Amino acid sequence: MAPSLRPLARPRPPGMLLGALLLLLLLGSVPGVWCFSELFFIKEPQDITVSRKEAVVLDCQAHGEVPVKVTWLKNGAKVSENKRIQVLSNGSLYISEVEGKRGEQSDEGFYQCLAMNKYGAILSQKAHLTLSTISAFEVQPISVEVQEGGVARFACKISSNPPPVITWELNRTALPITMDRVTALPTGVLQIYDVHQRDVGNYRCVAATVAHRRKSMEASLTVIPGKESKSFHIPTIIAGPQNITTSLHQTVVLECVATGNPKPIISWSRLDHKSIDVFNTRVLGNGNLMISDIRLQHAGVYVCRATTPGTRNFTVAMATLTVLAPPSFVEWPESLTRPRAGTARFVCQAEGIPSPKMSWLKNGRKIHSNGRIKMYNSKLVINQIIPEDDAIYQCMAENSQGSVLSRARLTVVMSEDRPSAPYNVHAETMSSSAILLAWDRPLYNSDKVIAYSVHYMKAEGLNNEEYQVVIGNDTTHYIIDDLEPASNYTFYIVAYMPMGASQMSDHVTQNTLEDAPRSPELHLEPLNCTTISVKWQQDAEDTATIQGYKLYYKEEGQQENGPIFLDTTDLLYTLSGLDPRRKYHVRLLAYNNFEDGYQADQTVSTPGCVSVRDRMVPPPPPPHHLYAKANTSSSIFLHWRRPAFTTAQIINYTIRCNPVGLQNASLVLYLQTSETHMLVQGLEPNTKYEFAVRLHVDQLSSPWSPVVYHSTLPEAPAGPPVGVKVTLIEDDTALVSWKPPDGPETVVTRYTILYASRKAWIAGEWQVLHREGAITMALLENLVAGNIYIVKISASNEVGEGPFSNSVELAVLPKESPESNQRPKRLDSADAKVYSGYYHLDQKSMTGIAVGVGIALTCILICVLILIYRSKARKSSASKTAQNGSQQLPRTSASLASGHEVGKNLERAVENEESLMPMIMPNSFIDAKGGTDLIINSYGPIIKNNPKKKWLFFQDPKKIKAEQPQRRFTQVVCFYQPGTTVLISDEDSPSSPGQTASFPRPFGVAADTEHSANSEGSHETGDSGRFSHESNDEIHLSSVISTTPLTPSSLTGSDSGGAPSMRKCEEPAVLAEAEDPSSSVLQLPSAPVCFDKKDFPI
């Protein structure tokens, strides 16, 4: 009696399941509905052109939770209903009579419908309503005179909406264009080839639309009688293609009319050598190219070429086809759920030609940036979310070809157990690029704060990007040091705890200082034994404000004099009253209201005073604007400028280099060069060096330039960050923190955070975050509930990146889990498991692995028993063969192998009967090209019956013995072993169980075919590909042996199906010398050995 089965779930009627499936498919077909299905459009209005006083309906159908209210906007303003304009019950807009007057009465414009329900509002795409219009002719046909047999061309042009249909009339009668000589292009061009006298008359074009019809002026065609003998004329293009700008799915015509004698041939090509789309392109008339259903790939430069037949004389004309495309999204915003005081980021990207303009809507209204909501590039960032931010947001992309919108919803989750905002926030300017920010801890729940978030942005301007830095809870101050000089910045602080974020603190504004002025270019020149001239020039690229200059000077070993304050216009000063034959040190710097700039210093000596003034040659000025930049951890690149006061052509430079604070002067490095730059190598990593340069010209040396200080780059981090911890602070947001790598010399400028769910981790798909070296925290957002995330971090600097830390797991529990109210699980790197390509094994995984291993062991045991059984059967058969046929095995005295090796080969052949080569019958061969066991003789292919094979282990021994006589063949197989010849009978199948249909071919041409494919001097053959003479002795020997022909008398058998009989087993043919006299083949006598099916020697 079968056990009763209790239903686990109540069965549902098939109709209900079918209805649910159809609803699922309906929602899946609408983009963005998977994110939310509260409100979306089924139909949106489209562009339309109508005539005046005509009725029109603009479609709009919205689906969502009822009630759904639909209103209409025209050019951004609400449409008022009246007797002529009504909103239908399905949401569409009906206009009974379209007005075309200018001003407020005109119904032309851009229309959008706005759908609203309790979740928010969404706005449809724009639909352009236009009236049918037609203008006067912009181009009228012109009368022409054409020689008989030539080409006549008329053109007219008119603008209308919709585009007109243009036809032509001859003498005010419709012109038939069915003739091959006459071509009327849709663009308004009429072409008449091989003009005759009957073509004379007055021509005009007629432009017609649904509501209008216009006729152009008439133009006459006069035909001049042609000459009897026409001279040769090179091709001339009288009407070439014009540049065209069109939209998708339109039709364009590129005109090309050419004349010449003989008549030229017109061809088209693309300038970029791409092929022309033959499916959407055809030739009109005698060479006009028409492209229909225009796509983006049709854009390009098209070349018309007119060529004289049979010659190389040609003329070309080209035009550019530009294709415009409406906007289309490549990245859509996703719906988000965020807690109050959190941050929401929507990303939206679109493409089109021209590039679309991006804007954001909230419940159908345009969003403007403020201190809390920012829009930049393609992102919408909402900071410090409040309940009023719960709405539907739309990303709108529009260009001249149309508009498209995508939507996403922001759901705000309320929670009361959050810390209060940090207070008493104040800022202090530190320099031109740094501001110190300090604050006090929140008054409420401050003990639960796990991190602070510092937000700052520029105070002036619109759409300034907001920057965020996450720091630990062990500090209440932070220095932001990447600011721009002389700029105002706004700051605020947010506190984080495991349950969420606090409200933002009060905003404070602080400005940075102006940047310090650069060092001026200084030049000293002794005028006499007591006077020095000081000259300088300020860097023209310096943008810092300069209030004046400060000049200091001192005699060597004496106290410094100064400062001497100089005006910004002063560029020359004279120091007088100095002592002769003394060395003076002069330094000069610029200053402003905030700080002193960088100084320039030089040393000069006053000459001695003599009664007869000697001609003094002043030293040349030193190089200026010495610039240093670290290249690697052991090299620094130097660059300087040639002094403006030097006119010499050949200048050499000396570079002085030493670490800062070096006491031993013998370790100072001096380098020579004739260039104005040098790469100084062999330096210590992360070490500060000082550099100075002097020049040598005309046996004179300049003073040393002002000293420049620069440090080499540090070495790449040798270890990973330590103390990695991950804490879930919101339902989909986690805080990861770490400590810098161990080692006092390790310098970190950036951290790389990789995190992924287990599924993404197995596929190698990581999400990447980067943080500056001073930051040791980061937020992981948009985590999916129910997943386990893996996090690892590495440190890097300018030189390179260090290793990653041990992976840390973070379990994001589902919202329905009863453990969601408990404290989230936090793992650090000390407790984490290292994931280096291995899976995490839980209890279920271990159970599955154990079951799998047990099944595998069972299969292996069964296979071993089968092999043992078959091995015993073969050994017993081999022993019988050895006993009964040992007297019939001939020996050979000239064998290459020893007797022991021959015995092994025989035993191997006996034991591996089923794995030997396929059967070879007289006058037959195997078709080995396709890897099959097809046998072909002189009468054609032989079809064999392939009975279904079974393992011997599972067969009935009695059936086997009974079937053996019928399964025997009357042929035998000849196997060549080195030094011996073995003939072994084979079964009907060319392969044993487990083997494929392709066989090893150690001898003969078949084995040499693949090897000879790449050999030199190979010759084409008709069947097996290639054949070549190989230099390898072993292969050559095998080829000669295997190609020895088998005579019919060698192998014989009974046709009656009985046991095979071996009538004669001949000696193998004696090897003859090769055709090449330079290579000889060793003649190997061999003895034949024959076996029957039961492995008994004959």
Rounded to whole angstroms, what are the CA distances from 334 to 32, 36, 246, 392, 407? 8, 9, 34, 11, 8
Q: How far apart are CA 554 and CA 395, in angstroms?
A: 69
Considering the chain, what is the average pLDDT of its residues?
75
Residue 321's alpha-carbon distances to 162, 241, 246, 318, 1083, in angstroms, are 22, 10, 8, 10, 79
Q: Could you tell me if 473 and 462 are in contact, meaning their C-beta atoms sit under 8 angstroms apart?
A: no
3-state secondary structure of 1007: helix
The 3-state DSSP class for residue 543 equals coil
pLDDT band at 971 (very low <50, low <70, confident <90, very high): very low
- If one compares 259 and 1092, the residue with the highest pLDDT of the two is 259
The residue with tokens 């294709």 is: 323
Q: Which residues touch 325 (CB under 8 Å, ≥6 apart)? A: 247, 248, 296, 352, 353, 401
Token pair in block for residue 620: 């040349």
**Which tens digits make up the pLDDT trace of 149-162?**
889 999 999 998 88
Give the whole-angstrom CA distance, residue 350 versus residue 357.
9
Res 666: pLDDT: 67
**Strands 48-50 vs 127-131: parallel, antiparallel or unpaired:** parallel
DSSP letter at 972 equals -
Pair type for strands 244-247 and 314-331: parallel
Indicate the residue type of 370. N
Report the C-alpha dihedral over residues 172, 174, 178, 180, rounded to 10 degrees: 20
pLDDT above 70 (res 1059): no
Q: What confidence tier does 307 reach under pLDDT thresholds 50, 70, 90?
A: very high
User: From CA 480, how far away is CA 458, in angstroms rounded?
Assistant: 13
pLDDT band at 252 (very low <50, low <70, confident <90, very high): very high
CB atoms within 10 A of CB 845: 11
Residues 6+ apart with CB under 8 A from 233: 259, 260, 261
Q: Using a pLDDT cut of 70, give the percent of the chain over it.
A: 70
Q: How far apart are CA 660 and CA 691, in angstroms?
A: 10
DSSP state, residue 100: -
- Is pTM, for the whole model, over 0.95? no
Give the model's pLDDT for residue 462: 65
Whose tokens are 């959008």? That residue is: 112
Pairing of the two strands 788-796 and 801-804: antiparallel
What is the rounded distance in angstroms from the CA atom of residue 685 to the CA atom of residue 713? 6
pLDDT digit string, tens, across residues 100-110: 766 557 888 89
Is the pLDDT at 756 greater than 90? The verdict is: yes
How far apart are the C-alpha atoms of 740 and 746, rounded to whole Å?
8
First to last CA, the chain: 66
pLDDT confidence of residue 662? 78
Query: Is the per-residue pLDDT at 774 higher than 50?
Result: yes
Which residues fall within 8 angstroms of residue 918, CB to CB, at 6 or more apart? 926, 933, 935, 973, 986, 990, 991, 999
Query: Quick one: how far is CA 29 from the chain centroid?
Result: 28
DSSP summary character for residue 175: P
Where would I find the H helices in 439-493? none
Give pLDDT tens digits for 401-436: 989 999 999 988 876 667 778 989 999 998 888 999
Min mean pLDDT across 78-92, 401-415, 629-643, 1047-1061 is at 1047-1061
* Cα gap 38→794, rounded to integer Å: 43
Q: How far apart are CA 981 and CA 986, in angstroms?
A: 16
**Rounded-to-integer distance, Cα 656 and Cα 637, Å:** 13
Condensed to tens digits (0 to 9), the pLDDT of residues 27-69 reads: 343 333 334 457 889 899 999 988 888 899 999 999 888 888 9
- Nearest Cα to Cα of residue 1053 among 1043, 1063, 1044, 1045: 1063
8 Å CB contact between 288 and 255 = yes
pLDDT of residue 633: 83
How far is 1089 from 974, CA to CA, in rounded Å? 9
Q: What residue type is 122 in one-letter code?
A: I
Per the structure block, which two tokens stand in for 956? 């009935």
Residue 246 confidence (pLDDT) above 90: yes
Higher-confidence residue: 610 or 580? 580
Tokens found for residue 798: 């300018």
Distance CA 382, CA 945 (A): 78
Q: What is the pLDDT of residues 631-684, one digit of tens each?
A: 888 899 999 988 776 566 678 889 999 998 877 766 788 898 988 899 999 898
pLDDT tens profile 190-215: 989 888 888 899 999 999 988 888 99
Residue 38 tokens, joined: 């509260």
Measured CA to CA in angstroms, residue 488 lies from 430, 504, 531, 829, 1062 at distances of 13, 20, 47, 41, 109
Q: What is the pLDDT of residue 404?
A: 92
Mean pLDDT of 255-268: 89
